[in-house]
Amino acid sequence: MESRWGIMRKLFVWYAALGLIFYGTIAFFYMNTQHIMEISNQIVNTSYRVTDLADGIMDHLLTMEENEKKYLVLKNPQYQEYFTTALRDFRSKLAEAVTLLAGTKDAVPWEQLKREVDRLQPQIQARMANAEWEKLWIPEETLDRWIQRVVLFKQMEERQVEIATRSLHKRGRSALRWGLAGLGLSLLAGLVGVWQVARSMSRPLRELRRGIRSVTRKGSTEPIRILSKDEFGELAFAFNEMIHRLREEERMRSDFISMLSHEVRNPLTTVRESVRLLEEEVMGPVTDRQKRFLTIARKEVDRIANLLKDLLQASRLENQRLEINPVEIHPRDLVETTLHRLSPAAEAKGVRMRSEVGVTPPCIGDMEHLQKVLMNLVSNAIKFSPSGSEVTVQVHQDEASAHVIFAVQDEGPGIPESELSLVFRKYYRASTLKDRIDGTGLGLHIAKHIVEAHGGSIWAESKPQQGSRFCFQLPCKGSRP
């Protein structure tokens, strides 16, 4: 019983530590979310409304000034009615602003303005009722002072919105930082707990491992020693029953992994095809509005699929060496195949493609990977080229270095010289284009890994508004990389 309690105690402490960190992180996130919601509510329901009221108040003040001047000149009672309406709306919006800000320090200047207006209200009414009154009902300097104060109030409210927005950003960053810290602590606690529990389990596990090896290596069952009276002792008793089901469990596990792999690999394809069928009205007619949204959905699914593909490939290139199946490659075949595959995209964009392949010796490399490099460069050239322009793919031999050089020239907007050294970085996108054209910034990074894995190099040449030229070189057949 003592041994069993020892294991249970360790497990309890381990899970308690994990639970404490996890729920502490959740509580922190909750509190931050509550605070963020309060700030957002203040901005949306109070600050924005007060700003709108300030704009309305200034409009009413200007209307009042305009109509009282017209009345003094034309003596038209209609302008007096316009003035009265503007004054009523002005006082109504002012009262609403005071109500919204009630109980806050921002309400003080609004309340002072309201008290001043209320104090002058009888005088204004008396002047309007006096037919012999030949001056403005509200002095011009008073209206100007009120307008200046409202403008100041509006600026103060906008400043409050800016401060609240900064607070939201700060809270968000804090939540992210502490969330990552909580995740790290959870991982650390998990590793420490596993290590501690593993130490107390090492002897019975070694015995169990010996029994398992006897099954896997010899195909026979051998009883294992019972070293304790805890859960591991029960496991030892169940061992002989378990080995009879190993084959069945292995088959079930294999089927499960195969199914899981299929489900993870194909869901986006399934969604894309379903959307395409709906868009092409295979499942029935759709309205133009529905078709437009289906087209957007299909493009976004394609974008996600390409993004996942690029991310996975980039991750593999970072974590493991690229596997290359070298074969003899003729540059002309590589160029022609690439241009043929990308011709539909070029035609849709209205871009012409042209190849200039000189007499070059074959290269040794992986056709699939090198085609991916050239397709990436040409597709980028098509993407960034305007309609009616031309993309040129050139291939020639550099006899001095025994390399074959591939170059892709476009007539696009070009890349600033200061950014040429950055274009092959992971996730990097040119500052002049990232707001106008979608992309992940991974294509050139992947291409660089592939070319360098073949013993070559890749670079870019460009000037703003003069197009870009991306080049890579590969060793010729028989040369030393």
Q: In terms of C-beta distances under 8 Å and separation of at least 24 residues, what long-range contacts does 357-360 make, across chains too?
A: 357/331, 357/332, 357/393, 357/394, 357/395, 358/395, 358/396, 358/397, 359/397, 360/331, 360/332, 360/395, 360/396, 360/397, 360/404, 360/476
> Do 444 and 304 lie in a common domain?
no
> Do 385 and 299 lie in a common domain?
no
Go through 247-269 and write b for each residue having 16 or more CB atoms within 10 A of its CB, e for each that does not: eeeeeeeeeeeeeeeeeeeeebe
Chain position carrying tokens 């294991």: 7
Residues 6+ away with beta carbon under 8 Å from 404: 331, 360, 361, 363, 395, 396, 397, 398, 473, 474, 475, 476
Which of 291, 319, 347 is at the close of a domain?
A: 319
Angstrom distance (rounded) from CA 123 to CA 118: 10
- 224 lies in a domain? no
pLDDT tens track, the chain, 481 positions: 344 455 666 677 777 777 787 777 777 777 877 777 777 777 767 777 778 888 888 888 888 888 888 877 788 888 888 888 888 888 888 888 888 878 777 778 888 888 888 888 888 777 777 766 667 777 778 888 888 888 887 788 778 778 878 877 787 787 777 777 777 777 777 777 777 666 666 777 777 777 766 665 544 556 666 666 666 667 767 766 766 665 566 455 434 433 434 454 567 777 777 777 777 777 778 787 887 877 888 777 776 766 666 656 655 555 556 678 888 889 999 999 999 888 888 898 899 999 998 888 898 888 888 988 999 899 988 988 888 899 999 999 887 778 899 999 998 888 888 788 778 876 676 665 555 555 566 778 888 888 888 888 999 988 877 889 999 999 887 665 4
Hey, what amino acid is at 413?
P
Structural domain count of the chain? 3
> Do 72 and 164 lie in a common domain?
yes
DSSP string computed for 293-318: HHHHHHHHHHHHHHHHHHHHHHHHHH
Q: Is 140 helix (H, G, I), strand (E, B) or coil?
A: helix
Go through 18-40 and write b for each residue having 16 or more CB atoms within 10 A of its CB, e for each that does not: beebbeebeebeeebeeeeeebe
Hey, what amino acid is at 419?
E
Rounded to two decimals, what is the model's pTM?
Answer: 0.41
- 451 lies in a domain? yes
Range of the domain at 65: 7-194
> Do 301 and 384 lie in a common domain?
no
> Do 42 and 151 lie in a common domain?
yes
Q: Which CATH number belongs to the domain containing residue 61 in this structure?
A: 1.20.120
Q: What are the helix and strand counts (H, E) for the chain? A: 12, 7
Which of 293, 319, 345 is at the close of a domain?
A: 319
Angstrom distance (rounded) from CA 42 to CA 32: 15
Which of 168, 194, 220 is at the close of a domain?
A: 194
> Do 299 and 346 lie in a common domain?
no
Q: In what order do the strands lie in the sheet with 390-398?
A: 352-357, 390-398, 403-409, 468-475, 457-462
Q: Are 101 and 112 in contact (CB under 8 A)?
A: no
